[in-house]
Amino acid sequence: MPAWAGALAGLAAGAVALGLAQLVAGLAGPETSPVVAVGDGAVDLTPAPVKDFAIRTFGENDKTVLVGGVLVVLALVAALIGVLARRRVAYGVAGLAVFAAVGVAAVVTRPSASAVDALPTVLGALAGVWTLTWLLRRATTRPQPAPADAPSPGAAPAGASSAASSAASSAASSSGAAAGASPQGEGVERPAVMRAGGEQATGFDRRRLLTGVAGGVVVAGAAAALGRELGGRQAVDTARVGVALPRPATPAKPVPAGADLRINGLSSFITRNQDFYRVDTALVVPQVSPADWRLRIHGLVDRPVELTYADLLKLPLTEADVTLTCVSNEVGGEYAGNARWLGVRMPDLLRRAGVRSGADMLLSTSADGFTCGTPVDVVMDGRDALFAIAMNGEPLPVEHGFPVRQVVPGLYGYVSATKWVVDVKVTRFDQDEAYWTPRGWSARGPIKTQSRIDVPKAGASLKAGRVTIAGVAWAQHKGVDAVEVRVDGGAWRQARLADVPSPDTWRQWSLDWDATPGSHTLEVRATDTTGYTQTDRKAPPAPDGATGWHAITVEVS
């Protein structure tokens, strides 16, 4: 059997193994999927600089790229296993066993894993072994019993078998259209057993291999698709749609009519859910059923609190417009969005638990094990820190943390905005560390005052004359006091500021400019209500947020 045939058989066996594993994982829970576990493990083990590079380079596609990468590696390994299995089936079985061992190791070392979680991987691997042996046997026809027939079918070099079948192409005609279609008969394999001349058997039947592989791929795809259905995605989507949002006891401050300048190309004051940036470490979006959701508040408290989703919805709800920002946002970047959140004020539940003196950190954990460390004093100082259940009038989208996430105005997402939050441990910064801290990011992450030019776009070609320059600026919980723009390093000019309902949202700004022909650089800087004006010193996002002025160049003719 030629190497490519072995590789194909290996790929099909690998596909069946993963497909079946996905099917069983669909029943057992997504965290038991070896693909997910290996990918999650890869995310966690990736050195921070590489991860930062991935976020910078692939943006919100970083997960697709990672899953793609994992699948490519798996495919190469599976092909190699198939090539080896041609020599001895035992090699193939051993290869798949190693494959499975890596998967099992990844699954059982995930947070809150148990031994039975290895089941999908083990059953998948067994299905892979079965498929591989089946395909090898199927594609290998028994040679006529002959005393000299000692070497195993796979022992003949790939080239030799091909040559043999070419030589026999005139003699054998029974293998059908595929054989006839090949002009020189090159590479066309036939069942050796049928050969009239009784020449040395090659024992490879291409047609039977290809149909077997096709069957395997179909089974693998169907199993994976079924697993996905069973995986609760639908169940959680249905539950989400079924949530009736209670009215807020404290509605949001009315958004002033002048909050949105309605300039073409300028970020709208409220970011629609489908346009809202998404940043997280979750390879598959955690599917948390509201029926199963619990929030536990414990640690340095007088009375640990545990509550259900129904309990949460019965509490007085607060609505607030808050702009979320990611620490990974580059100057001028897109990782900021403004939404209307609805939720229970975090201090309400923390007071119920009774935070002990000395505690200064809330270590919140998501259903998939991600953690955030949030300063207690910030959460308790009266700002609209929420356990949020809704975003822009609908239950949280699943990828934005359904059923419950945290939102804390003024803190970057990585230290405050835990999605799929299930656990809050009241603790101390000197005793606990959140997910990103050992990965080179600051333990505390107040949002830095920033401004961005949305229009014109960088590199735009404009007509000379009046041009509207516009953008957004943010200094959450302090408030934006002024935005200035300058052209070609000239004098700073005050931009017109849009209205805002509170200091917790971004603020639109605009400025009219009489553009003259030539290439021009536009720069923006904001000043917050503490009197701080953005520094021009450029700093990268790590470890605690980028600084510098957003600058763009435009061509005017």
Ligand X SMILES: Nc1nc2c(c(=O)[nH]1)N[C@H]1C(S)=C(S)[C@@H](COP(=O)(O)O)O[C@H]1N2
CB of 505 vs ligand X, minimal distance in Å = 15
Binding residues for ligand X, total number by CB under 6 A: 18
Residue whose CB is less far from Mo ion, 279 or 424: 279
Quote the CA–CA distance of 10 and 366 in Å, as a whole number: 37
CB 388 within 8 A of CB 343: yes
Residue whose CB is less far from ligand X, 204 or 420: 420
Binding ligand X (rule: CB under 6 A), the pick from 269, 293, 309, 370 is: 370
First-residue to last-residue Cα distance in the chain: 67
From 34-42, 343-351, 413-421, 449-457, give the range in contact with ligand X by CB under 6 A.
413-421
Q: Is 20 in the site for ligand X (CB under 6 A)?
A: no
Question: Which tokens sit at 483?
Answer: 């935005």
Handedness of CA 424, 426, 427, 428 (dihedral sign): positive
Binding ligand X (rule: CB under 6 A), the pick from 133, 166, 273, 281 is: 281
Q: Is 417 in the site for ligand X (CB under 6 A)?
A: yes
CB 21 within 8 A of CB 120: yes
Q: Is 407 in the site for Mo ion (CB under 5 A)?
A: no
Q: Which of residues 325-354 bind ligand X (CB under 6 A)?
A: 326
Q: Is 420 in the site for ligand X (CB under 6 A)?
A: yes
From 293-301, 302-310, 412-420, 521-529, give the range in contact with Mo ion by CB under 5 A.
412-420
Residue 230 is classified by DSSP as I
CB of 112 vs ligand X, minimal distance in Å = 14
List C-alpha distances in Å: 80 to 83, 96, 211. Answer: 5, 10, 20
Question: Which tokens sit at 460?
Answer: 């735009």
Quote the CA–CA distance of 346 and 382 in Å, as a whole number: 10
Q: Which of residues 11-70 bind Mo ion (CB under 5 A)?
A: none
Cβ burial of 540 (10 Å; 0-12, 13-18, 19+) is middle
Binding ligand X (rule: CB under 6 A), the pick from 204, 293, 414, 509 is: 414
CB 306 within 8 A of CB 253: no
Quote the CA–CA distance of 23 and 223 in Å, as a whole number: 5
Residue whose CB is less far from Mo ion, 268 or 281: 281
Q: Is 293 in the site for ligand X (CB under 6 A)?
A: no
Binding ligand X (rule: CB under 6 A), the pick from 366, 427, 449, 534 is: 366
From 51-59, 120-128, 274-282, 537-545, give the range in contact with ligand X by CB under 6 A.
274-282
Quote the CA–CA distance of 342 and 344 in Å, as a whole number: 7
3-state SS, 22-91, equals HHHHHHHCHHHCHHHHHHHHHHHHCCHHHHHHHHHHHHHHHHHHHHHHHHHHHHHHHHHHHHHHHHCHHH
Helix or strand (DSSP H, E) at 18 = helix 3-28
To 10 degrees, what angle do helices 206-228 and 119-139 make?
Answer: 160
Which of the listed partners (ligand X, Mo ion, none) does 420 bind, with a CB threshold of 5 to 8 Å by partner kind? ligand X
Residue whose CB is less far from ligand X, 369 or 456: 369
Which of the listed partners (ligand X, Mo ion, none) does 190 bind, with a CB threshold of 5 to 8 Å by partner kind? none
Q: Is 277 in the site for Mo ion (CB under 5 A)?
A: no
To 10 degrees, what angle do helices 62-87 and 89-108 make?
Answer: 150
Which of the listed partners (ligand X, Mo ion, none) does 418 bind, with a CB threshold of 5 to 8 Å by partner kind? ligand X
Q: Which of residues 304-333 bind Mo ion (CB under 5 A)?
A: 326
CB of 52 vs Mo ion, minimal distance in Å = 11
Which of the listed partners (Mo ion, ligand X, none) does 549 bind, with a CB threshold of 5 to 8 Å by partner kind? none
Quote the CA–CA distance of 309 and 420 in Å, as a whole number: 12
The label of the residue with tokens 């470490």 reads: 281
Residue whose CB is less far from ligand X, 5 or 54: 54
Q: Which of residues 295-324 bind ligand X (CB under 6 A)?
A: 324
CB of 434 vs ligand X, minimal distance in Å = 10
Residue 509's nearest CA partner among 320, 271, 259 is 259
HSE of 81, CA atoms in CB hemisphere, 13 A? 30
Residue whose CB is less far from Mo ion, 199 or 330: 330
CB 153 within 8 A of CB 160: no
Q: Is 278 in the site for ligand X (CB under 6 A)?
A: yes
Which of the listed partners (ligand X, Mo ion, none) does 359 bind, with a CB threshold of 5 to 8 Å by partner kind? none
Binding Mo ion (rule: CB under 5 A), the pick from 19, 413, 446, 548 is: 413
Residue whose CB is less far from ligand X, 6 or 286: 286
Q: Is 418 in the site for ligand X (CB under 6 A)?
A: yes
Question: Which tokens sit at 389?
Answer: 């259940």
Binding Mo ion (rule: CB under 5 A), the pick from 279, 361, 388, 469 is: 279
Question: Which tokens sit at 548?
Answer: 């510098």
HSE of 510, CA atoms in CB hemisphere, 13 A? 18
CB of 398 vs ligand X, minimal distance in Å = 11
Compose the 220-259 pattern: x for residues touching ligand X by CB under 6 A, - for all others: ----------------------------------------
Binding residues for Mo ion, total number by CB under 5 A: 4
Q: Is 435 in the site for Mo ion (CB under 5 A)?
A: no
Residue whose CB is less far from ligand X, 51 or 400: 400
Quote the CA–CA distance of 512 and 332 in Å, as a whole number: 20
CB of 34 vs ligand X, minimal distance in Å = 21
Q: Produce one character per residue of 516-525: b if its CB has 16 or more CB atoms within 10 Å, e if not.
A: eeeebebbbb
Q: Which residues of the chain form contacts with Mo ion (CB under 5 A)?
A: 279, 326, 413-414
Which spans of this chain sit near ligand X (rule: CB under 6 A)? 276-282, 324, 326, 366, 370, 400, 413-414, 417-420
